[in-house]
Structure 1
Amino acid sequence: MTDFAVPAVDISAYVDPDGSPEARRAAARAFDEAAATVGFVQVLGHGVPTAVTGAFADALDSFFDLPLEAKKVYRTPPEINRGYSPPKTESLSLSLGLAPSNRMHDFFEAFNVGAAHTDYPGVELPTTDYPENVWPEEAGGFREAVSAYFDEAGRVARTLTTLFADALGLPAGFFERYTDHSLDVLRMNNYALPPGEVALDGDLTGMGEHTDYGIVTVLWADQVRGLQVLGRDGGWHDVMPADGALLINLGDLMARWTNERWMSTLHRVKPPIVAGRIERRRSAAFFHDGNIDAVIETLPTCVGADGTSAYPPITVGGHIRAKLAGSRAGVANTEAEREAARVLAARSA
């Protein structure tokens, strides 16, 4: 299993309005190959300024370095996917229906922001799914730096869906009607806390095995071990971003659209422990999930030879709510049998 590698794809031809058709075709072919085999991609040429990511990293530190009680002020109910999540209040494995005794035990803390209903004027949207953001006043410059990165990550996600249409032989702009009021969420994660706040007990799980829920995830992360991807060989492999790269993986909705031509890749986080303490690791996942009312069904070009699909049609909202009820509220998802089976097979391998 030592030959596992995450392919790198340069998408600069899609970022540059004058990118050549030949360069775009090459990028689309390379991404298609990576998505069909590994499922994670190192994306280069994304155009996110280092000044933006640098200020963003500082903003994460300014919030996560606050005392735990100060951060808990920004906690929201499980059904509101915004604000602060303290350590051991979530279990990502429950989004697949997998976790011992439905125990909320993932060792990470997070802060979420996302698209609010007011960001889409003229569209009637449920405020529970598109809530307003909460912003920590104690962390100076946090809102400005996070908003700037949110906009850049969203641009990268939309650029990728343009590439997806080309890679899958779809009409230009195919995904726009599914994403013009997309459920976009940026989740900022921290895997190190001062000693004494959380016990390092048992088999430490930074973030349990899960697939991402939506269309595509844009991941910024420190170059620190912890993220592991389940390969096609049934083994877990360490993954770190290359210099200047963003890690890209596909979510369940893309697997449904493509009938698993492109898989939603299972991954987890096992934060490294050095001298009895967790080595600090930060990450931020931008989830581009699609319109809440969009119906996702297998593309005609991806159905089986007999015209069948592994998945029935589903709305974005129904799928995302079932996943979040597992990870955030402890209600095991019973509609993820295919992904759960892959986890179980890996555990017994």
Structure 2
Amino acid sequence: MADKVGGIPVIDFGPFLEGDTTAQRTVAEQMRQASREWGFFYLENCGMPAEQLAETFAASKAFFDLPTDEKNRVAWQSAESNRGYVGIKRERLDPSRPGDLKEAFNLAPEQPDPDAHKNLWPKGHPQFEETMTRFLDECIHTADRVLQAFALALGQPADFFVDAHNLHHHTLRLLHYPPLPEGFEPHDGESRAGAHTDYGSITLLFQDDVGGLEVRTRAGDWIRATPIPGTVVVNTGDLMHRWTNHVFCSTPHRVNVAPEHRHRDRYSIAFFCHPNKDAVITCIDTCATEDNPPIYGPITAGQHLHEQLTNTYGP
């Protein structure tokens, strides 16, 4: 059985990677239950090298320590690209609230099409590009294993979701939440990251030890997703919500200004796993019945992402 932290399940992924068919089905069922009841779970023993994760966090910190004008030379430009540096308060994850008290850097797998958008790398820092490219590859590998478990949980062929993600239209996002000044009081609903759901299929989230992530329960309460060393937080996004006809839930979450940590930098890394942009997201046959027909009509993954990013950043 999966353990729980504050109610959020903790699932050992080792038996899925190394066990027999029975062990894999047990893990897949735990993930199905967690995704149905919470939309969130911690995954341990997922195969992500600890040394590589530490190296990536160090490289992220080094980037955010660069002068602001240097970061702005690789600034985010458009929803079509969705790459580059996002300054503090530039993004509003909750469009009804002020800009988020964070900065970010987005990158993505490079596409073979010569006309495709390219990553915006800061000049003079080749090690940063190398570190992030290696970590991106590791995230793709881990996400594919999670997607295989989800397919098993839904009675689909093992590569059902992996095939729909094989063009790697994903986004890796580095996040930095600066310390808040002494005496700072949030106003008009300011927060480090406003309440939102993720746009894609699944997200892999790596946290430092500062914490601040909060998840909304089905009852409407907010609980902390306390960092657990050696785990990655997995949550299901809006497209998985649609794909599975609400069998897997896309749950609102936020990063709050926790009083005990307001004086500390917080760093996290999110890998947003997104289906191929031309993939048509329509209800999976095993997720609908006569009594529970499909809730949503078809939509392409690319159309959905563009709409959500436009709402987030504004015109």
Q: Which residue in the other structure is 2:59 paired with?
A: 59
- Map 1:112-261 onto structure 2 (within 5 A): 112-118=106-112, 127=116, 131-139=117-125, 141-192=127-178, 201-202=186-187, 203-261=189-247
- Map 1:18-57 onto structure 2 (within 5 A): 19-57=19-57
Q: Which residue in the other structure is 2:13 paired with?
A: 11
Unpaired runs of at least 5, structure 1: 332-349
Distance in 1 separating the partners of 2:296 and 2:235: 20
- Corresponding position: 1:110 with 2:104: yes
Paired amino acid for 1:82: R
Distance in 2 separating the partners of 1:317 and 1:200: 38
Q: Which residue in the other structure is 1:297 paired with?
A: 282
SS of structure 1 residue aligned to 2:273: strand
TM-score, normalised by the number of residues in structure 2: 0.91
Distance in 1 separating the partners of 2:93 and 2:137: 26
Alignment check: 8 A CA contact 2:181 2:263 kept: no
Q: Which residue in the other structure is 2:258 paired with?
A: 272
Q: Which residue in the other structure is 1:344 paired with?
A: none
Alignment check: 8 A CA contact 1:9 1:43 kept: yes
- Map 1:268-347 onto structure 2 (within 5 A): 268-273=254-259, 277-306=262-291, 308-328=293-313, 330=314
Distance in 1 separating the partners of 2:21 and 2:128: 39
Shift of 1:205: 1.1
- How much is the aligned-residue C-alpha RMSD, in angstroms? 2.2
Distance in 2 separating the partners of 1:230 and 1:110: 23
SS of structure 1 residue aligned to 2:275: strand
Distance in 2 separating the partners of 1:110 and 1:200: 22
Shift of 1:204: 2.8
SS of structure 2 residue aligned to 1:141: helix
SS of structure 2 residue aligned to 1:106: coil
Shift of 1:224: 1.5
Shift of 1:303: 1.5
Shift of 1:317: 0.7
Shift of 1:278: 4.0
Distance in 2 separating the partners of 1:245 and 1:190: 20
Residue-by-residue CA offset, 1:34-57 (whole Å, 9 max, x unaligned): 111111111011111111011101
SS of structure 2 residue aligned to 1:8: strand
Out of 303-312 and 165-174, give the one that drifted further: 303-312
Shift of 1:247: 0.4
Distance in 2 separating the partners of 1:211 and 1:290: 16
Paired amino acid for 1:319: H
Shift of 1:280: 1.2
SS of structure 1 residue aligned to 2:36: helix
TM-score, normalised by the number of residues in structure 1: 0.83
Distance in 1 separating the partners of 2:205 and 2:229: 13
Residue-by-residue CA offset, 1:59-85 (whole Å, 9 max, x unaligned): 011101112222111103132210100
Shift of 1:307: 5.7
Alignment check: 8 A CA contact 2:241 2:247 kept: yes
SS of structure 2 residue aligned to 1:46: coil
Alignment check: 8 A CA contact 2:6 2:225 kept: no
Paired amino acid for 1:222: D
Distance in 2 separating the partners of 1:205 and 1:194: 11
Alignment check: 8 A CA contact 2:179 2:264 kept: no
Out of 312-321 and 135-144, give the one that drifted further: 135-144
Classify 1:34/1:217 alpha carbon distance in 2 versus 1 (closer, same or farther; 3 Å).
same
Residue-by-residue CA offset, 1:6-59 (whole Å, 9 max, x unaligned): 11111123334xx31121111111111111111111101111111101110110
- Give me the identity figure in percent: 34
Paired amino acid for 1:157: A
SS of structure 1 residue aligned to 2:85: strand
Alignment check: 8 A CA contact 1:109 1:190 kept: yes
